[in-house]
């Protein structure tokens, strides 16, 4: 039985960045979740926890954000550090300065960088040219911080992470990709139900299959939302048009119309299934109000957990280590 509150790591945490959850072992994911639970307790008991006193986190955004921006800024503050919001409109990166120069310069001033941008390669390059931790706050390919918060929320609701099935209904996007990786790392069955042409790419599915062999779980990709949701313990959806796909919205609304998570579809999941959504949500599109605002929805716990898991990630990556 997984006891994250008292989790004893098998190895010491040995990561320099959080670029993609595929780089992390199950043990490292558990270490993050375990620390997140401790930090959440301390926060709720008003116990100061300045583990990153005097440290500065630069937060680069080339896309909009509510949760990521606020939870990182509040999180570093609660850890005794300082967050620096850098919109790409305001820094020279937005005017063509290279990632390489940006990485080298910021490494001289700050202790870590969180970046939200389009191309995953930019995040990889930032890590390559900096000598401080880089945290991926969402790219077109991945959203690792979101999935850590999702796993924590599932653990709190269900008391375990394996012997569960998560059904993701919708677009095979960044969130779906990271869910495939996160679930198959921890041994949770995952079924993706998406329209033809909107499946996650083959490389991600291949990673999921490899992970699932090690963690003993199942990954299914189907074009039938009914098939995907059957026997699910967790039902998850996300927007049909992600940031950067605004012009495809009308086409996507048509393609996804039978993939809405509504009472009829949700009733095919297990009777005690919970609903998750990374937010922002569009009621009447990917989900109805009766589901997202209903008693089985954990979306605001999930949003809160962004704060706690990201604080754990920052502590593990940015605190001085003896190694
Ligand atoms: N879920 C999420 O990342 O939300 P934001 O886009 O508001 O940061
Ligand atoms: N798939 C969405 C997630 C937003 C948090 C997007 O990339 O816009």
Question: Which one, of 209, 198, 20, lies nearest residue 115 by Cα?
Answer: 20
Q: Same domain for 108 and 199?
A: no
* Two tokens, residue 21: 């959850």
Chain position carrying tokens 């963690």: 215
Tell how strand 189-193 and strand 134-136 pair up: unpaired
Instruction: Kindly report, residue by residue over 136-148, the tens digit of the pLDDT.
Output: 999 999 999 999 9
Shared-domain flag, residues 131 and 264? no
Calpha distance 15→69 (Å, rounded)? 23
Based on the domain organization, do 96 and 158 belong to the same domain? no
Query: Tokens 């998850």 appear where?
Result: 236
User: Is 321 annotated as catalytic?
Assistant: no
Active-site pick, 238, 252, 308, 310: 238
CATH of the domain at 174: 3.40.50.1370
CB 278 near ligand 2, within 6 Å: yes
Q: Does 104 share its domain with 196?
A: no
Task: Specify the pLDDT at position 18.
Answer: 98
8 Å CB contact between 153 and 301? yes
pLDDT at 320: 84
Ligand closest to the CA atom of residue 300: 1
Stated as kind and residue range, the H or E segment containing 192 is strand 189-193
Hey, what are 126's tokens?
A: 């930032």
Give the pLDDT of residue 323: 57
Hey, CA dihedral for 89, 90, 94, 99, is it positive or negative? negative
Domain that holds residue 120: 8-142+304-318
143 is catalytic: yes
133 and 151 in a single domain? The answer is: no
Q: Are residues 29 and 129 in the same domain?
A: yes
Predicted structure pTM score: 0.98
Please count the structural domains in the chain.
2
Q: How far is the CA of 100 from the centre of ligand 2 (A)?
A: 26
Confidence of residue 308 (pLDDT cuts 50, 70, 90): very high
Are 177 and 116 part of one and the same domain?
A: no
How long a stretch of residues is the chain? 323
- Measured CA to CA, the distance from residue 223 to residue 226 in angstroms comes to 9
């Amino acid at each position: 039985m997984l006891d994250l509150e008292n989790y004893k790591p098998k190895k010491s945490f040995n990561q320099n960045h959080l670029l993609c959850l595929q780089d992390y072992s199950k043990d490292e994911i558990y270490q993050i979740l375990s620390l997140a639970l401790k930090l959440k307790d301390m926060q709720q008991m008003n116990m100061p926890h300045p583990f990153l006193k005097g440290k500065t986190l630069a937060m680069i955004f080339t896309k909009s954000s509510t949760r990521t921006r606020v939870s990182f800024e509040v999180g570093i503050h609660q850890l005794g550090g300082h967050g620096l919001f850098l919109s790409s409109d305001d820094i020279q990166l937005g005017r063509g300065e290279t990632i390489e120069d940006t990485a080298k310069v910021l490494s001289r001033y700050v202790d870590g960088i969180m970046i939200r941008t389009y191309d995953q390669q930019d995040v990889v390059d930032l890590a390559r040219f900096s000598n401080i931790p880089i945290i991926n706050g969402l790219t077109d390919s991945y959203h690792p911080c979101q999935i850590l918060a999702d796993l924590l929320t599932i653990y709190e609701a269900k008391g375990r992470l394996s012997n569960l099935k998560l059904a993701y209904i919708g677009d095979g996007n960044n969130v779906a990709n990271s869910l495939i990786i996160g679930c198959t790392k921890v041994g949770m069955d995952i079924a993706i139900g998406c329209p033809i042409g909107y499946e996650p790419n083959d490389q991600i599915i291949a990673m999921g299959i490899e992970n699932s062999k090690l963690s003993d779980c199942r990954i299914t990709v189907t074009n039938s939302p009914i098939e995907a949701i059957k026997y699910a313990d967790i039902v998850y959806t996300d927007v049909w048009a992600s940031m950067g796909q605004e012009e495809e919205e009308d086409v996507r609304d048509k393609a996804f119309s039978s993939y809405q998570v509504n009472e009829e579809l949700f009733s095919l999941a297990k009777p005690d299934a919970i609903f998750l959504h990374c937010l922002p949500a569009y009621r009447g599109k990917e989900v109805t109000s009766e589901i997202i605002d209903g008693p089985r929805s954990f979306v605001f716990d999930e949003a809160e957990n962004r704060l706690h898991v990201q604080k754990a990630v920052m502590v593990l990556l940015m605190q001085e280590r003896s190694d």
